[in-house]
Amino acid sequence: MRLEARKWKKNCKWSLSLRATLELFGLELDVDIGTYQNDRAVSYKHVLDLTVSVDPALVLIKADKMSQVFDYDGLIESIEALGSGVSFETQEMLATVIVKLCAEYAEIQNLVVALRKISASDTRKKIGVTLSLDAGDLAQIRQQRA
């Protein structure tokens, strides 16, 4: 957490129920997922919904300054870069990689990663996977990285 936000938090008495989330919906990822026979290639769109919880002091801010908020642009760029020459066999592995990227940001306290694939030939066909992690789960992932 940046210094200005830390000072602001120190001077405020938040209620225990105050929560702050940042939500990203419908991010189309340019990734290849699956193993298909050449004659059974199926085209899918892969869509990410991401919800992260952060300290309320990074959302309920005192002044309109980027230095007081969680700058999520780097996280989004890292997620979008996953499609660069990498293919995954499963949605679950892509979700795991996204969780690990999110864990690199100490500001993220909880998160929900929801991936779905949508058939290009029949958009009624959708299948997805969702991972929900709390602070304890993220702490374990961060500890494994260290």
Higher pLDDT, 120 or 116: 116
Model confidence pLDDT, tens digit, residues 40-58: 556 788 999 999 999 999 9
Nearest to 119 by CA among 34, 50, 62: 34
Do 67 and 2 form a contact (C-beta atoms < 8 A)?
A: yes
Phi, psi for residue 78 in degrees, rounded to 5: -65, -40
Q: What are the structural domains, with CATH classification, of the chain?
A: 3-145 (3.30.1130.10)
Integer CA distances (angstroms), 70 to 16, 23, 29, 54, in order: 20, 12, 22, 8
Q: Give the helix, strand, coil percentages of the chain, each rounded to 5.
A: 35, 30, 35
Q: pLDDT band for 64, please (50, 70, 90 cuts).
A: very high
- pLDDT of the residue at 87: 82
Q: Kindly report the pTM of this predicted structure.
A: 0.82
Q: In angstroms, how far is CA 56 from the centroid of its own chain?
A: 18
